[in-house]
Structures are given as C-alpha cells and as structure tokens.
Structure 1
Amino acid sequence: MQPQTPLPARVPAHAPQEGDGIAVGNGPVIIDAYIDFQCPFCRMFEKSSGPLLDAMVTEGQVTLVYHPMAFLDAMSTSRYSTRASAASGCASDGGAFMEYLYTLFDNQPPEGGPGLSDEELIALGLRVGLNDAFAACVRDGVHLDWPPYVTARAAERGVSATPTVLVEGAAVRPHPGLIRTAVAAALHHPA
C-alpha cells in the first residue's frame, strides 16, 4: 500500500521501507507496535511485553517495528510526544533505539504538563551511551517532521489508539500471552 502522506525529507536509520517506524531484528514474523512516549498504557505495555518481545527478536523469530506516534501532543504543553519520538529517531541514528525507548518509558512525564525538555531528552540519551551527534540531532530538530508522518501513516492503517499491536497485520491485544500465541501461529502457519 502506497502511503498517502508524503515521506519526510529524512527518516531515521533502521526505518522500514515505508519510513514509518524503527525495525529491530530480522525474524520472519512482523510485529508492529504503535506507541506514544507519553502514553501511560504504552509504558505498561512495554513493562509487561517488552521482555517477551526482546526475547523473540534475540531468538530471530520476529522483526519488531516500533511506530513512535505523536498521538498525545494535545496532552502536553510542549508537543512532548512529537519531540520524544523525534529524539527516538535520533537515538536510532546513533544505534541505541531500544535503550532509549526503555529510558524514555522509565522517565515518562505525566500527561498534561510540558513533558521533558529537549535538554532532558538529550541527557537521557547520553546516559544510555549516545554521543554529541545525538545531542546535535535533537537540538537541530532533525526528525521533528517524522512523528507526524508516522502518526498519519498509522491513521491510514486504521490505528486509533496506543498501544496498538499487529502481528502479521492482524490486531492483537497488547498482552504478552496473546502476542506469543499469535507469533507461534504465524511461525507454524506462514501466510
């Protein structure tokens, strides 16, 4: 399906061909995880399902594609969802997307406030081993036009809430047992 929304001038490293996420791993089963770094339910999803997803990536069962959306920008006074998602793109450029994703959820600000500042987003990246190139990427807003694209593409696919999980394109409740079952079925009965 060709995207209706034009691709931004720059997409982060490790983006799939459509440019609307960050791919981790290279297994045969595709899991799409639509998240928002300000979404408390996404944080709970990552805490409960993250270890399973990491194991499936490590075991070569899945390609996990995170789609960091700007779904909750209206729930902050500083477009935090967009800024955090753009910073995650900078982290992907620096080869530390997953480490940054974990630390963003570990340091998730409450809805309704300004969220973390750009300098706080940079400090979290430096804490997980990213460098000055990451800091410059965030400060220069290199990927600020990427989260709206990811969000628009998600809407085109019918995603209307976060977290949303698709296994081989089919919606699965974001629960580790249900994800495991769907992946096992896809591995044993490929389309």
Structure 2
Amino acid sequence: MYAQAQPRPAHVPAGVNAEGDGIVLGDGPVMIDAFIDFQCPYCRMFEESSGPMLDTMVETRRITLTYHPMAFLDEMSTNRYSTRASAASGCAADGGRFLEYLYIVFANQPPEGGPGLTDEELIALGTPVGLTGSFAGCVREEAHLDWPPYVTARAAARKVGATPTVLVDGVLVRPHQRLIKTAVEAALHARG
C-alpha cells in the first residue's frame, strides 16, 4: 500500500531525524531504530518489556533511539487508527512529550479489528502527560496526518515488513530486551 515513493511532508514533527521519518531521542553513539505501529499488540508488549531499558540507555547516553511510528496496520481498524495515532504522536513530539505519549497510547491500545480510539480520545490521553491546548489543536487540524504514510513508505523502502522491527547500528535484531542489550554492548565494545 505504501511501497511507492512518498514525498516528504512539508510539515514534520519536532525532533525528527534528517530523513524526517523518525523521532530522535538521545545522543549516544549506538543508533537504534524502532519501527512501531500503535495498533500492533506486539509493539505494546515490546514497549512494556524493553522500553524501560531503552529509556535508561538514552538517559545514560549509550544510544540514540529513533522511533518510526508507522501506519502499517490501518486496515486492522475501521477508521485508520494507525495513521491517526501516529499523527497524534507527531503532535506530542511538537509538545516535547513524544515518549510519554507513546507509553500512554500503548497502555490504552484498542483491540485490532475495531474502530480504534477517536481523535478526542487521543487528545484526552495527552492531558495526563502534560499535553494541552496546542496539542489538541494539532490533532484536530490533522497537522501531521500526511506524516505516517511517509514514515511507512520509507520503512518499506528499508525492507521493514513487520512491527516491531529493531535495528541496532543498521543491523536487524529481534525485538527482545536481552538481544537488544547484547547488540548494544557489542557495538559499544567495538567502538573501544
């Protein structure tokens, strides 16, 4: 569906990488790319199990973590939930609360096959993490609605065919906490 080239949106979220297809957290030497979909139950499990470890690695400046919120599973909802949730995460990035929003959206993940959360429900999830007025306006105005298809097309061009997908310094690693930690340690060791 998104395999064709997508033009870079004119307006991308704050904190994106140079390619405009991911939100960058941290500035450590080891690069981790995490391709996620807010509709994906395995992505929620990945965040619940590996998220705290990744957060610590970002905080201790061991990694640079780039999240690529995809619209891979739009067809698993009746209202393009993957696209809308990913676009809302872009609004959260604009408000400086991307990671906090990511966690709360996954904690409130709707089942596959249904309508997904409404825009108003996505907005309401921003309140407990400190996202208010401008966030609500960003979601309602669909400021980043063209960003998830771009992220998804770029991921497809990189041969990402499932979520979650994790790359450590460009090398595919199974999205398991222990395996990611081992790959990061090896990459740090190789750097001396």
TM-score in same-fold range (> 0.5):
yes
CA distance in 2, matches of 1:53, 1:91: 19
Please tell me whether the aligned partners of residues 38 and 44 of structure 2 are also in contact (alpha carbons under 8 angstroms). yes
Q: Deviations over 1:132-177 (max 9, x none)?
A: 0000000000000000000000000000000000000000000011
| 1:140 matches 2:148 | no
Code of the residue aligned with 2:147 in structure 1: it is W
Q: Deviation above 4 Å: which 4+ runs of structure 1?
A: none
CA distance in 1, matches of 2:84, 2:7: 20
Q: List runs of 5+ in structure 1 lacking aligned partners.
A: none
CA distance in 2, matches of 1:6, 1:82: 16
| 1:121 matches 2:122 | yes
| 1:48 matches 2:49 | yes
Find the residue that maps to 1:88 and give its secondary structure.
Answer: helix
For residues 146-185 of structure 1, the aligned pairs below 5 Å read 146-185=147-186
| 1:32 matches 2:37 | no
CA distance in 1, matches of 2:141, 2:191: 43
CA distance in 2, matches of 1:104, 1:6: 27
RMSD: 1.3
Find the residue that maps to 2:191 and give its secondary structure.
Answer: coil
Code of the residue aligned with 2:104 in structure 1: it is T
Which residue number in structure 1 is paired with residue 98 of structure 2? 97
CA distance in 1, matches of 2:72, 2:61: 30
CA distance in 1, matches of 2:131, 2:64: 23
Q: Deviations over 1:111-150 (max 9, x none)?
A: 0011000000000011211110000000000000000000
Q: List runs of 5+ in structure 2 lacking aligned partners.
A: none
Number of aligned residue pairs: 189
TM-score w.r.t. the length of structure 2 is: 0.96
Residue 48 of structure 1 and its aligned partner are, at CA, apart by: 0.6
Please tell me whether the aligned partners of residues 26 and 64 of structure 2 are also in contact (alpha carbons under 8 angstroms). yes
Code of the residue aligned with 1:115 in structure 2: it is G
